[in-house]
Structure 1
């Protein structure tokens, strides 16, 4: 294409664009159409127009709006910098539209963020880029000399693919004397030449003529082509063939099968003989490929299948020639009728990769184009969605639909949708097709982690190994990726915040709860944690659950005897019994406690040794010592009982207590008897004494070895301060040396064994409640209720053993004794230390056991739980804490009673129940 043609095309485009200035200056709505006009064959990169400006988009919006062209064939593109519509490939009007007078390309311009599209119409102008061409380079005519002037002869026509003024406009004949040329026009507007005889021919003068036929258009510049005409003058054939019709019209359905007869033309010739023999032929046989012609009969049949979508009409010129060479022509026009033989096609455009589940209703998802090559009702298509999906189709324009959301999306319920669009035309019968796409739903952090249980309860036995797993919580989150990745933490607890980390921890990944220390049921029986499961979404979502940890009890605490106890000076106490005591008389009661719970704290009392077997009985559950028979004349006035207290654990733990009982009617009578009379030697007690001495010697040797090792190690040190405690005169031991034996899981009480010599060896229990100063060593060991001396006293005789603190002991008015022997303060005083409290609790425990057995003999007034008559008026209910919560009494639902009553059914003798310390220590 020359530059002149290009300039002319642009010049013609400017007036057309001027007509649309108002629409170009206004922002284009999705339903409006942007129109441009360009000449064909523009070079690639040519600017059609500023599409962004015509759509009302600024240059700054272009990167985010992502303006582009949606078309099946990319004839155009959009400049990303300026938004101009550019030619991207060759535009050939003849190939696109053929002979149509108007040729336009329609497509959609798509803009995103938000998604929208605009209709664009680009009209293609024809340029004179095709030269008129004849199908044959030469034509041969035979004209009889007898042909009269004004006879007409149809010549072969030329074809020009252009339209309008650029198409074939006229034919010209080279100058001659006998022939002239007449331009004729067919019904379809095409032109063809007719040769007209101007003067009669004379074969004798000239046998042939050579003429030049020129076909030209009116383009700028005009184009033309030529064909040679050779005319042979023959002998006279006076009558040419004549067709029955000059124009034949017929209509055919496009689905007719090959071999079907279209029509049969008829021609006659008035001549005779050879001059009357007519043969039929196509004038342009090379162009006719769909039909066959019987040259003898003039019957036209279908050779190949017709297709309305390709060619809608055929125009065929037939020629009838007689034997003398005279010809006649007629035109056959065949119209192809459309049949609904094309299935609608659904084309998805602008499909997203993911649709987020929080997408709002009415959001554009995709653009659908429907294509049906049929025409009329056969090409009208209706689309619908199959199935129950949260989407719907909106009609945008003819054969264009929008797919939008019509419901709430939830990825956890439906992660993807298989959307099927069915397109059905209006033909008879209708044809339909379906096209499916899969829309994937993107995840949003819209689900809170959920625990498997509403709350957790975990039972953990005490003394567990530190670091052991005690529980595991599990939470699930149906979201994906970080939105569903759960981590665990402890957010609250009923423990002290500072101590929480030393008790438990939780694995952030697995939810396993670990014990950071060994639990002690006696210190901590239960605690509650609040665990949180938190996902890693943005923003993060979390849920809490409570975890209650119940610490189970183990039998790790031996029973502890609270009564009988040692006196303030370390001497043994004794109980007096009236000589006239009848069988069943309540002499005293062994009071013991166990820090454990349940069966582990269920105590039983057993007699291990008795000076006079059969004289006393011991309550199995109450610990009450009663007379089994009356005192005989041969029975000693001084009796000794060794009682074992066992708990119900597996294996059971035990402790022992020694009771000193004196039969006397008065305190003055009991004291000389207790100090002067000596009991017969007990071989087993002597053996026990020797074992204690042996263990003491071994302990002394062990302590000496330890002290020696420490001294050697300190000697290596350069600091003289390390020898400060070994220098003479600086470290003075006072009292017995005791090593604390407190271990985790046991009550923090320990004892030492004090041995005094006053005629008899006696084991006394002392409370290790004094803080040791630097340099002191103390060892308190417990074995079956008896404690053995492992402590070395100072070698200096000037330092005597300090008496134990008396602030934790009962006063004389508070010390348990026989009924009616106390004259304490009626108002009562609360015990001033923990040990006194535990003694009181043990007494209440014994009373509870007595009530459960139904054999309680403790009498008292109301409000004292039956204790004031036996143990003094200060033991009132308001002064005694309830210790029954640690005790489980199987097979009994009895409760404590405060009914008053006598213990033995009769008043005891005066002076009974007074407890005195032995004036001299007994020896074994």
Structure 2
């Protein structure tokens, strides 16, 4: 022991009790190791076995030694070494030792030469030393004897195991072997759990029953390992095949097969493919299946009406004598057996239900298929019902009784329509388009009744076809124009009396032709006339587009001579084409506009022009000044857009007064029209704020200065006389009061 722990405390003794003087003190004592022990081998002689085929570097045995010194120090750090080999010579480097672990393995040279050596026993001298890799230290020696064993690492594959074997598990079925001092076996493969296992001696066993239908083959790997778990050689691969036992019966894909077979089906027709499968080995008789009919119900009209191929399961019709009236259903019991049908085979059954389907062998027939001619006037309204036909069918199945009607011929222009009622097996013929006696006088409709399902082994009879003869009655019809609407383009400059359009109408009654009379309606401007026999429309006076706008619409009527009630109306739209017959004018009030003189910056007036003509003959307008030199120098006209222009002063000073500027406005028509406009423009002196200061002119009939002075003096004289009279009157009244007399003035 190289480590102690001591605890010390001090106490003072009294008469009755002890008293602690100091706390408890802990002392650790470590004994330092000294290399005073040499290594000791666990054996004096070590024995080992190595098998041919062992991989180089894989330890096949180990030599061991002990040292009593401290294992945590170099005193017990041991190193192993080979110091001698026997026999000596060229084979001295066959083996190697791990200096730290003592593991013995083959060198690369030993691995390659081992299988060729004649010697099978080698002796090695080995040494163990302490103090690790230091040159000094204690050591001891021992002997190692190695025997060379033959390579027994092989196995026969595949291995065959019978499925479903009862009892006696685990069962040994294979054994492997490897020769080595250290040996452990390891087994793995494509199996679950511990189905296969290997013991320490290399015996491989199966632990429970096998089922080929769950897994037919297994692949396992067996490895021989040393104590480190490293394989000595490549693993052995063992293929295990499970031998099949006939333990599965054939199973049909369906328990019940439902088959439909039509009457009159020919002999040999394939009815159904029966299929059964066997889970046993398909390469053995255990899965070879044979098919057989066990029973047929009912046996009508005879037994064995169906044939079943025993190898393929194909069921065919033996005789073409199926009749729904004899038997509508058959029930067959079918057997499937393995072992190719031999005794002892496993089997199962299924049921085949055969429905005999009624075929369409009765054609539909009309209850009546010939009729007297139908007379229909040509002006009859569409939708009129002409005739309803009915047919019957003697088949039983509803699908075979459904009748489809069709007009085979005589209705190529689809003048007549049909409606059908499949529940009642009826067809109604009605008028779908208007009749025209002049085009077609009679129709012969060939109508057929057919089943939706194709007939079987029979043909349609003459009673499946009906004929309907329709005569068209002639009616005196109203005339009609060649167009519902006429449109014509007329320039507004067209002369009075010009023919602008000819309308045409015709009488559909080619067998009853009479004259036609034309007239005009809704001519609110009274500007048109029409020739009543030719339909030529003429102008009574010219068309002014600026009065009529762009279009003028009237109606023309045609009436049958002798019967005015037979008539037709068409619309005539006259598009009036503009002619450049209006001159442009200057519009707007410019009386409030003025220019300051001297000229100020940005002074200008916007002027605008207008033209009554259409767009093609009006804007854009061209604004120019007359060719007068003085006018050209004093004023400027600049275009703003197609309808406006700027007027501005051309020089810095003009006399303050009203100036008349001659502006020429020209439109864009062909040929163009122009207007010369004298525009009065005020030029004045302006205040600092830009307001025009207008001088007051002498007013006409105003009085002179002398006359004004005379008027003033006369007025003052009148006022003086009035004041004298007033004062005199006041004096007179005062004197009367004093004398006691009164007077009236």
When normalised by structure 2's length, the TM-score is: 0.29
When normalised by structure 1's length, the TM-score is: 0.24
Structure with the higher fraction of residues in helix conformation: 1
Structure with the higher fraction of residues in strand conformation: 2
Indicate the structure (1 or 2) with the bigger Cα radius of gyration.
2
